[in-house]
Amino acid sequence: MFAGTPMPDGSSDMGRVDRQSPGDDQLRCSSCGDVIGVYEPLVHVLGGVARPTSRAAEPELAYSSGQHFHLDCYEGPGPDR
Ligand SMILES: [Zn+2]
């Protein structure tokens, strides 16, 4: 077992692209904080109006204001739940 390999402390940036950097176009759920997948149904809340949609249907959502939730995470005043 080799124990002499130094662990990178995160300061190496040679030729590596960090795809997990914040400010990415990834959409995060305002409830659980997890990334919302492109094809996952989501709820976009803007100006007090909740609207079910998905990033596949509206790619520009990643750059829009408002809040985004997983469909399962959003607990709006829906009478059906
Ligand atoms: Zn969520």
Q: What per-residue confidence (pLDDT) applies to 9?
A: 65
Assess if residue 58 is contained within a domain: yes
Q: How far is the CA of 17 from the centre of ligand 1 (A)?
A: 26
Assess if residue 21 is contained within a domain: no
Q: What is the residue-wise DSSP string for the chain?
A: ----PPPP-S---SS---TT-TTSS-EE-TTT-PEEPTTSEEEEEETTEEEEEETTT-GGGGGSSSEEEETTT---S-TT-
Assess if residue 7 is contained within a domain: no
Assess if residue 14 is contained within a domain: no
Say how far apart CA 74 and CA 47 lie, in whole Å.
15
Q: What per-residue confidence (pLDDT) applies to 63?
A: 85
Q: How far is the CA of 33 from the centre of ligand 1 (A)?
A: 6
User: What is the extent of the structural domain holding 47?
Assistant: 27-70
Q: How far is the CA of 6 from the centre of ligand 1 (A)?
A: 37
Q: How far is the CA of 77 from the centre of ligand 1 (A)?
A: 17
Q: What per-residue confidence (pLDDT) applies to 66?
A: 95
Q: Which residues of 3-21 are buried (b: 16+ CB within 10 A; e: fewer)?
A: eeeeeeeeeeeeeeeeeee
Q: Do 68 and 44 contact (CB within 8 A), yes or no?
A: yes
pTM over 0.75: no
pLDDT tens for each residue of the chain, 81 residues long:
666 766 566 555 556 555 444 456 789 999 999 999 999 999 999 999 999 999 999 988 888 899 999 999 998 555 554
Q: What per-residue confidence (pLDDT) applies to 68?
A: 95
Q: How far is the CA of 72 from the centre of ligand 1 (A)?
A: 7
Assess if residue 4 is contained within a domain: no
Total count of domains within the chain: 1
